[in-house]
Structure 1
Amino acid sequence: MAVVSMRQMLEAGVHFGHQTQRRNPTMQRFIFGERNGIHIIDLEQTLTRIETAYAFVRQLASGGGVVLFVGTKKQAQDPIKNFAERSGMPYINERWLGGMLTNFGTISKRVSKMIELERLSGSPEWAQIPKKEALLMSRELIKLQRNLSGIRNMVRLPDAVFVLDTAIEHLAVTEANKLGIPVVAVVDTNVNPNLVQYPIPGNDDAIRANELMTRVIAEAISEGRFIAEKAGGQVQNPATAVVDNAVFAADQARARAEAAIAQAERDAKLAGESN
């Protein structure tokens, strides 16, 4: 049985590319034709590429692999968040911070800072912090949550990255390629498909098309886990599994130490004010 039907793709508008003048020459092999100045994508090839990507992600998930979902433009934000959460995978749907993959240690520290601020804001200690300092900390927490909430449980680098719109997410694609992390991506007629290992020709602007493609990847993950469980394996949620990662552990310990020092300084300041 096909992963997705031709009718589903037609109804979602997967076949609509960009205006002909925006064509990337490397996408020519995936273009069926042109209609009213818009390129039409060859859905037969899309179907084949989807099945290839589906098989890859399913195999990855069956071994407990992590897939990072990435899509920060408005049309991609909701599908990326909803289907990533549904499949228990990390995601970025607000802003890609430079170094999220290539400087993962530093990003992990920021995640630890976010978690510590969340803990502090929900504890009695928060009421003892001077108002100005508390306001600054609240603003920092909001910013951290906006950019990093989706990867709060990602304790190691992902095994693959799924991307909607490689033009906008070029930093994510570049970092993944630099580290040798496979990229599965929907590629529209204005991008270079040679930059990703598993290109899926399709419309990356329509909300329905983005939902369809993201759902397919999420279903591949679910099927991979089901296969592993039927085979007798105990598949942990890879996004939250604790792994043997000395660098990450050291970063977490350092972040906790810094948070403890900051708390001690606040306690000393409050003690001095009370005297």
Structure 2
Amino acid sequence: MAIKISLEELLEAGAHFGHQAKRWNPKMASYLYGIQEGVHVFDLTKTKVAMEEALDVLKNAAKEGKNILILGTKKQCKEKIIEIGKETGMPYVSERWLGGTLTNFDQMKRSISKLSEMKTKMAAGEYKKYTKKERLLLEREITRLERFFGGISTLEKLPDMLFVVDTHKETQAVKEALKMKIETIGIVDSNSDPTVVDYPIPMNDDAAKALEYVLDLVKKAILEGQSKKK
């Protein structure tokens, strides 16, 4: 059963507002309804169709036990990205994307291993023999590593899929996924290139309410898929 998407709620959340018309990407033309006060407006019926397809893909991927990396570093969606990651068990990135996360995955795994090792030693009290200043430096390093790698600490191999909030902002991540042949789903605003992802979701990528609405549906799709996993 398809996840229900409300055109009214998308409209109320401001999902239909794009960027200033002068900043648009012509490749987005087919998803746009027109221009209002110098701002592009999305055709929400097309947004709904694209969203339904993307959610269906996410649900099936979760049902098949695939690993979906959830990426969103904008302040409007950070907390929701963490929430999705923790509630679904999927890997996530809510801080700055580190170049090479996908294309230099072996190095990433070394950093993740370092974090795990340091946390284990800290919990076991192995750092008590160090001076107060040295312990403080170690704690800061753990905090730094946790900030950047905590959300992907469960990744044993490259993810099967990448979900991206704002493909324009996360260009590096999208390029890495393309290079590594990782399937992609992305929220694309009127200034974005929808052809760089496999499943574009055309909508406002700045409005907190709009992002919260779609990300709640993303979480629902993954959880529904996981509940039907064989």
Match of 2:7 in 1: 6
CA deviation map 1:164-221 (0-9, x unaligned)? 0111111110000001111101100011000000000001101111111111121111
How far residue 54 of structure 1 moved from its aligned partner, in angstroms, is 1.2
Q: 2:105 is matched by which residue type in structure 1?
A: F
Q: Which has the higher helix share?
A: 1
Structure 1 gaps, min length 5: 234-275
Deviation for aligned residue 1:120? 1.7
Superposed, which structure 2 residues align to 1:125-274 within 5 Å?
Answer: 125-228=126-229, 233=230
Structure 1 residues 123 and 198, CA, compared in 2 at 3 Å: closer, same or farther? Answer: same
Tell me the CA shift for residue 140 of structure 1: 1.4
Report the residue type matching 1:217 in the other structure. V
Alpha-carbon offset, residue 136 of structure 1: 2.6
Distance in 1, matches of 2:209 and 2:87, equals 18
Task: Note if contact 1:3-1:50 (Cα within 8 Å) is conserved in structure 2.
Answer: no
Partner of 2:77: 76
The ranges of structure 1 where at least 4 consecutive aligned residues each deviate by more than 4 angstroms after the TM superposition are none
The answer on whether the counterparts of 2:164 and 2:185 sit within 8 Å (CA) in structure 1 is: yes
Partner letter of residue 219 of structure 1? K
Give aligned-pair identity as a percent.
41
| 1-structure distance, mates of 2:108, 2:10 | 37
Describe the superposition over 1:73-106 as per-residue Cα deviations: whole angstroms up to 9, x where unpaired: 1112112111222222110001111111111111
- 3-state SS of paired residue (1:138): helix
**Which digits, 9 at most, give the CA deviation of each residue in 1:40-97, with x for residues without a partner?**
0010110110111111111111110111000111112112111222222110001111
TM-score by length of 1: 0.80
Alignment size in residue pairs: 229
TM-aligned CA deviation for residue 128 of structure 1: 0.2
**CA distances 1:98-157 after superposition (whole Å, capped 9, x unpaired):** 111111111011011111111222222211023343233222111101111111112221
CA distance in 2, matches of 1:190, 1:135: 44
CA distance in 2, matches of 1:210, 1:124: 42
Identify the residue that residue 18 of structure 1 maps to in structure 2: 19
Partner SS state of residue 41, structure 2: strand
Of 1-10 and 186-195, the range deviating more from structure 2: 1-10
Equivalent residues of 2:3, 2:221 under 8 A apart: no
Residue 2 of structure 1 deviates from its aligned partner by 5.3
Alignment of 1:55 with 2:56, yes or no, is yes
Q: State how far apart, in whole Å, the 1-side matches of 2:57 and 2:223 are.
A: 13
TM-score by length of 2: 0.95
Asked if 2 retains the 8 angstrom alpha-carbon contact of 1:30 and 1:201, the reply is yes
What root-mean-square deviation, in Å, do the aligned CA atoms of Structure 1 and Structure 2 show?
1.3
